[in-house]
């Protein structure tokens, strides 16, 4: 940018020399017009609406889209140009658009590279939620069989708890105290959980199945026709080759507590 200013100053030298000549007439008009032209040129090249900047952005955009079409990692020199020339406030929007484009066009190698590189641009809670959603879309594209992962809990009828409200939660053993799936239910013999029952996109049943995690199952029932509360906890190692698993709790397996 500095060289633009230096060239502008140099460009003034012949104009000044011409104005200093004794034979020059209308010096004020010539000087004013020259200054306006030079200032206009400076604004075009380095101002807020610089077409030079726009051309550079277009060049970066073309290079990144070219890498997406080839399904390859973005070259380091293109990333360097992106960091240097794209406004900080725009980097999040650009990367979000590129990741979506790569996933939709099934260029999953590029999408995976962009996901790993761009996480730093997703800063606010809403942006992080979008980032995890993009990660989930990428994972589901790579492993489509697990996109519809589910878990079915079967409950044997309990003689002294015919009417009840309940809650089921699944946790990763020795993991964060955040359920990968959670659901409330009433008076049913089967409860089905899926990826959409997670609190955070990507931290769900599919991640458990793919990563072969041991899972903690917690179920609580509040009996409406008696004074009983029922609880059940166990650890489960799911079938790692299946995106659908089932577990059954017998009527005599509950821990009973008085309300």
**Token representation of residue 67:** 């890498």
Tens digit of pLDDT at every position of the chain (259 positions)? 454 445 455 555 455 555 455 555 555 555 565 566 656 555 555 444 444 457 788 889 999 999 999 999 999 999 999 999 888 888 999 999 999 999 999 999 999 999 999 999 999 999 999 999 999 999 999 999 999 999 999 999 988 888 999 999 999 999 889 999 999 999 999 999 999 999 899 999 999 999 999 999 999 999 988 788 999 999 998 877 789 999 999 999 999 876 6
CB 164 within 8 A of CB 220: no
Q: Which helix (H) or strand (E) holds 12?
A: helix 2-20
Rounded Cα distance between 76 and 82, Å, is: 10
Phi, psi of 21 (to 5 degrees): -70, 135
């Amino acid at each position: 940018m500095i060289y633009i200013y230096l060239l502008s100053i140099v460009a003034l030298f012949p104009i000044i020399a011409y104005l200093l000549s004794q034979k020059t007439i209308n010096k004020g008009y010539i000087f004013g017009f020259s200054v306006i032209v030079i200032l206009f040129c400076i604004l075009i090249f380095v101002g807020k609406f610089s077409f030079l900047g726009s051309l550079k952005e277009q060049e970066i955009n073309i290079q990144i889209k070219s890498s997406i079409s080839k399904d390859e990692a973005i070259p380091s020199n293109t990333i360097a140009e992106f960091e240097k020339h794209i406004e900080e406030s725009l980097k999040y929007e650009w990367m979000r658009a590129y990741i979506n484009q790569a996933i939709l066009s099934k260029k999953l190698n590029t999408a995976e590279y962009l996901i790993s590189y761009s996480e730093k641009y997703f800063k606010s809670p809403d942006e992080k939620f979008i980032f995890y959603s993009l990660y989930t879309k990428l994972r589901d594209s790579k492993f489509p069989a697990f996109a519809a992962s589910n878990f079915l809990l079967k409950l044997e009828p309990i003689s002294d708890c015919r009417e009840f409200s309940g809650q089921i939660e699944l946790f990763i053993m020795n993991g964060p105290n955040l359920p990968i799936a959670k659901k409330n239910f009433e008076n049913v013999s089967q409860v089905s959980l899926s990826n959409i029952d997670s609190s955070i996109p990507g931290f769900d049943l599919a991640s458990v199945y793919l990563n072969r995690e041991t899972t903690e199952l917690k179920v609580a029932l509040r009996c409406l026709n008696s004074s009983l509360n029922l609880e059940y906890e166990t650890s489960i190692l799911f079938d790692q080759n299946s995106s659908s698993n089932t577990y059954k709790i017998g009527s005599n397996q509950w821990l009973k507590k008085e309300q």
